[in-house]
Chains A and B, each alone.
Chain A
């Protein structure tokens, strides 16, 4: 069963606009969430994370929102840049001893058009 779902396989936005990537999860035991970005031929790169005790976390152009009641999180990129074009994965973990065990979504390919 897919515990972490990214229902949009792809997203295309114009440079300078906002990109919103969505992620849903089914396991209420997840308490830590992360977003990774992946370019072809490279491993995933950590972007931003959020603990379940928060509902928002910002880091520069990246903001992650968590709605626990809806079991939904989203990543906002403002403003979007062509270099942001990549595959974005959301991931979740449960319990403090499971940092090394991440459950990933299927990924969303973001294309930012100049």
Chain B
């Protein structure tokens, strides 16, 4: 089975712009979560989607949004980019929301905001 794929792998944007990141989960997986990794804050949960519905949301401003499509693919969007948004954005998928269902991570998208 192919793993979780994220596109693009690298992005450079300037302050004020917006960006859309894409995540394709493992085939058959229906749950997708997003995390932000920065040197200062570590890995922080952004949001989780299951069956096209947001199930959980982390403590991020409204500039961060996401969605999930009927084929379980997910996108996250960051509007009005700030320098502090520079980070590695990781997507993870699992088969369901059941306890014990492992989350498998993609390689991440490295976003640099100048």
Contacts and interface: CB of A to CB of B under 8 A. Distances in A.
Secondary structure class of chain B's binding surface, majority of residues: strand
A100 interface: yes
Contact of B45 (A43, A49, A103, A105): A103
A44 interface: yes
Interface stretch (B13-21, B77-85, B93-101): B93-101
Given A43-B4, A46-B102, A49-B100, A99 B94 contact: yes
B66 interface: no
A32 B97 CA distance: 13
B28 interface: no
Interface string B55-97: 1101000000000000000000000000000000010101011
Interface string A19-49: 0000000000000100010000111111001
Contacts, number: 71
Interface string A70-114: 000000000000000000010100001111111111110000000
Give the size category of A's interface with B: 20 to 34
Interface residues of B, number: 30
Contacts of A104: 35, 42-45
A51 interface: yes
Contacts of A51: 99
A42 B90 CA distance: 10
A64 to B, nearest CB: 14
B30 to A, nearest CB: 10
Given A100-B55, A100-B97, A43 B107 contact: yes
A2 B99 CA distance: 23
23 contacts: A42-B107, A43-B105, A43-B106, A43-B107, A46-B104, A49-B102, A51-B99, A89-B42, A89-B43, A96-B97, A96-B98, A97-B97, A98-B97, A99-B96, A99-B97, A99-B100, A100-B32, A100-B97, A102-B45, A102-B103, A104-B42, A104-B43, A105-B42
